[in-house]
Amino acid sequence: MNKHSQYAHEIADQKQIEEINKMYTEIVGTGGAEILSVNRIARDRIESPHLLKNADFSPTIVRNLITEGERKTTESLETSNSEQIQ
């Protein structure tokens, strides 16, 4: 990325940030929920990489991936909440 395009990218990012801040302020101001924290949840390395190679989207595989995501979300939120309490 050259210096000019990097600068243009930074301006676009700044405009997006300003727009997000404006929308957030409007939502919170009209009785919406305030965001107190943000948690990043990343998928671990897939135990069976052949699933991606074969593009297996069977209902069982999809359900298992959803269940795994829900479990990780719960664990992340519980860890985050316990850290905030301490």
Q: What is the pLDDT of residues 2-48, one digit of tens each?
A: 555 555 556 668 888 888 889 888 888 888 777 777 777 776 666 65
What CA dihedral angle connects 25, 27, 33 and 37, to 10 degrees? -40
pLDDT digits (tens, 9 = 90+) for 44-71: 666 655 555 667 778 998 898 889 889 9
What CA dihedral angle connects 52, 53, 58 and 60, to 10 degrees? -50
Query: Phi, psi (5° rounding) for residue 41?
Result: -120, 115
Q: Are residues 56 and 80 in the same domain?
A: yes
Question: Could you tell me the pTM of the whole model?
Answer: 0.44
Q: Are residues 26 and 42 in the same domain?
A: no
Number of structural domains (the chain) is 2
Q: Are residues 29 and 52 in the same domain?
A: no
Q: Are residues 14 and 55 in the same domain?
A: no
Domain that holds residue 44: 38-86
Q: Are residues 76 and 61 in the same domain?
A: yes
